[in-house]
Amino acid sequence: MKLLSATLAGAAALCLAAASWAQEPDATPPVVPDLPDLQEQETAADIPLPDPGPAEGLDAADVEAWLDGYMPYALASGDIAGAVVTVVSDGDILLSKGYGYADIETRTPVDPSRTLFRPGSVSKLITWTAVMQLAEQGRIDLDADINTYLDFDIPAIDGPVTLRHVLRHTPGFQESVKYLMLDSEEGFLELGEYLRGNVPEVLFPAGEVPAYSNYATALAGHIVAEVSGMSFDDYVEANIFEPLGMTRSTFRQPLPEGFDAEMSSGYMRASDGDPRPFEMVTPAPAGSMSATGDDMGRFMIAHLAGGGPILGEDAARAMHTEADRKFPPLNAMTLGFYEQDRNGVRSVGHGGDTTLFHSNLHLYLDEGVGLYISMNSTGRNGASGRIRNALFEGFTDRYFPVEADERPTLDTAAEHGRMMAGSYENSRVIRTNFLASVYLMGQIKVGLNADDELVTDFMRTPAGAPKRWREVEPFVWQEVGGADRLAARVEDGRVTGFSMEPVSPFMAFTPVPWQRSSALLMPLIGIALGALALTVVLWPVRAVVRWRYRAPFPLEGRRAWAWRAVRLGALLSLAHLGLWMFLVTSSMSNLSRMTDALEPWVLALLIGAIIPLSALAVSVWNAVAVWTGPSSWFGKAWSLVIVASFVILVWFLAAAGFLSFTLAF
């Protein structure tokens, strides 16, 4: 009975989840850290926004007063322990200041010159600078097959992957999360071992689709080590950190002696008061750096100075300006940086996330100004994402303002909006293993409202409302009340993809084929699970009723065996699916579980797919037995409902990756 109760409870939970996803198809899935993800747009509406106000000019006193009026209140409202903000201008650090605490228990304040933060994927800018140094020296060809520099093969579609593709997030790789992040040194892999053992599937032809990849950047760091003959850590220390005086920066994990005492604690929420372990980032060149705010200021100064002592002007200019524009006129990837133009001001930068630390770096290229922020907590409802984005927008609007240009809505808004409406999936996706389930249930929807505006619930305004977009150019939409834009690619009269700022440089959204559409599949799986659960529930209920009234079992022979077998199949299939969902949710809630230790459980459940497949066959046998015997019309109809339910279940399992016989994830 305990097994039965647990199974039914799991089935009920799955039905509720399916119904929830059916009603809220715009929800986004859990997203792997280390990039500005879509979930950050949907945060608590009561996190304060900075008042951009008017400013006479950019000077330290004004910037400090403005930040002091925003940061403490924002951190307190967002439940964030501490942050560092660094502003550079005209070749100097204009202001570098800590807010809140590096450690709550000891009440240690953030010191911008000594406290280490984890900038996450902002680390990639160091790695890509190293690649460009070697390219500048002629030791690396950005357009050569990347396998030229490796002793293992990287697959590709329609032509080789190159380092230029890697710098632009267009190698075409599927998302990879195995060994991405650990909470201890146990199981930590050396970079080369990690890369050889976790080569991702290729989903897109190289160079065609922007799809953010941590694996690809780690690959670039490995190539730096192979070509230079030094370890990656030794190379960046000798060729980037030392020339810039970045003495409080390191990629090494665990932290070297002398650094660990200055490392900020990391929190999910400040109110928890419970620091989490130091995060071990296995693809280290993609996000393992620890650095102070002052050191990040030195790095920004070098790039704003045309490369400073670490890079020639031509290479630096290429990193800042050679844009790969997949969705004109939106912001695009350059070589490592991505565009963040606002108010007509040219800017590039990068965001970064670990599980605990959240950062942004921005370079205003023509103004010689840089802005960096890093926070040591995720905060309430992901508040760190809202705070850093609002800081960038408020800083830009205050010091580089522009009058809003209200562009009229085109007459084609309704027609083109109807073409856009539908379900889409993110290019940063998993399709070939069990984690495809996360992305299946996280597909997004674009709708059209009564004012012929596009509505994207998965992207939110600072007030927490769904973003709305007006068409201002053919297939280009402007955010209502904002500066972001959305653009679509149209081929043969149909939308083949779109993107929007701020994620347009490294993410695209493509229409979902019907067989993988959650808008179709999730309501169906909810109904199917409900039917199977009801079938299981009524099995013991009918037995109790027969016992109570001393009634004989009405079936015999093969019909009796088929009747019992199909119900047992439903019970075991629900249990099998419930175990899959438990494995997925528990693994995604703690990425440190995504290691080889998970493989036996994945393998067992993959082998367990024989249960629903066999149950489907049994349901057909049962239906034949029912229809060829003396059954009521309801019994015959219900036998077909059971067959249909198992068909839908198997369809769901295939779409969710639960039938993909692979241990690569």
Scan for tokens 């290019």, then name that residue: 427
Burial code (b: 16+ CB inside 10 Å, e: under 16) for 401-432 equals eeeeeeeebbeebeebbebbeebbbbbbbbbb
User: Taking Cα atoms as reference points, which of 338, 265, 359, 304 lies closest to residue 40?
Assistant: 359
**DSSP three-state, residue 484:** coil
| pLDDT of 4 higher than 50 | no
Do 204 and 321 sit in the same domain of this protein? yes
Tokens, residue 592: 């440190």
Boundary (domain end) residue, out of 367, 399, 431: 399
Contact 376, 356 (CB under 8 A): yes
Regarding predicted confidence, which is higher, 554 or 46?
A: 554
The pLDDT value recorded for residue 11 is 39
Banded pLDDT at 68 (limits 50, 70, 90): very high
The pLDDT value recorded for residue 33 is 47
Do 313 and 385 sit in the same domain of this protein? yes
Give tens-digit pLDDT for 403-423: 767 789 999 999 999 999 999
The pLDDT value recorded for residue 346 is 94
Give tens-digit pLDDT for 303-350: 999 999 999 999 999 999 999 999 999 999 999 999 999 988 999 999
Range of the domain at 346: 38-399
**DSSP three-state, residue 482:** coil
Do 98 and 245 sit in the same domain of this protein? yes
Contact 372, 32 (CB under 8 A): no
Residue-averaged pLDDT of the chain? 91
Helix crossing, 557-588 with 518-548: angle to 10°? 130
**% pLDDT > 90, the chain:** 82
| pLDDT of 133 higher than 80 | yes
Regarding predicted confidence, which is higher, 137 or 30?
A: 137
Contact 70, 98 (CB under 8 A): no
Do 559 and 504 sit in the same domain of this protein? no
Q: What is the mean pLDDT of residues 223-234?
A: 98
Phi/psi of residue 437, nearest 5 degrees: -60, -35
| pLDDT of 533 higher than 50 | yes
- Classify residue 661: in a domain, yes or no: no
Boundary (domain end) residue, out of 399, 425, 458: 399
Do 503 and 544 sit in the same domain of this protein? no
Boundary (domain end) residue, out of 344, 369, 399: 399
Helix, strand, coil shares of the chain, percent, nearest 5, are 45, 15, 40
- Classify residue 405: in a domain, yes or no: no
How many structural domains compose the chain?
3
Give tens-digit pLDDT for 11-29: 333 333 333 333 332 333 3
Banded pLDDT at 48 (limits 50, 70, 90): confident
Give tens-digit pLDDT for 470-518: 999 999 999 998 889 999 999 999 999 999 999 999 999 999 999 999 9
Banded pLDDT at 459 (limits 50, 70, 90): confident
Do 422 and 383 sit in the same domain of this protein? no
Tokens, residue 607: 């082998």
Cβ within 8 Å of residue 362, ≥6 positions away: 340, 347, 348, 349, 370, 371, 372, 392, 395
Which amino acid, residue 330?
L
| pLDDT of 34 higher than 60 | no
Do 629 and 529 sit in the same domain of this protein? yes
CA distance 439 to 97: 39
CA distance 562 to 566: 6
Do 230 and 190 sit in the same domain of this protein? yes
Do 361 and 493 sit in the same domain of this protein? no
CA distance 663 to 665: 6
CA distance 424 to 66: 40
The pLDDT value recorded for residue 405 is 72
Q: What is the pTM of this model?
A: 0.89
CA distance 478 to 329: 11
Phi/psi of residue 441, nearest 5 degrees: -80, -5
The pLDDT value recorded for residue 50 is 82
| pLDDT of 557 higher than 50 | yes
The pLDDT value recorded for residue 54 is 67
Alpha-helical runs (H) found in 59-148:
60-78, 124-136
Beta pairing class for 476-479 and 485-491 = antiparallel
Do 547 and 587 sit in the same domain of this protein? yes
The pLDDT value recorded for residue 46 is 65
Do 98 and 217 sit in the same domain of this protein? yes
CA distance 395 to 291: 23
CA distance 182 to 339: 31
Cβ within 8 Å of residue 635, ≥6 positions away: 626
Cβ within 8 Å of residue 486, ≥6 positions away: 330, 454, 456, 469, 476, 477, 479, 498, 499, 500, 501
Which amino acid, residue 49?
L
Give tens-digit pLDDT for 625-635: 999 988 889 99
CA distance 648 to 331: 41
| pLDDT of 545 higher than 60 | yes
Give tens-digit pLDDT for 186-224: 889 999 999 999 999 999 999 999 999 999 999 999 999
- State the DSSP H helix or E strand holding residue 619, giving kind and residue range, or none if neither: helix 610-627
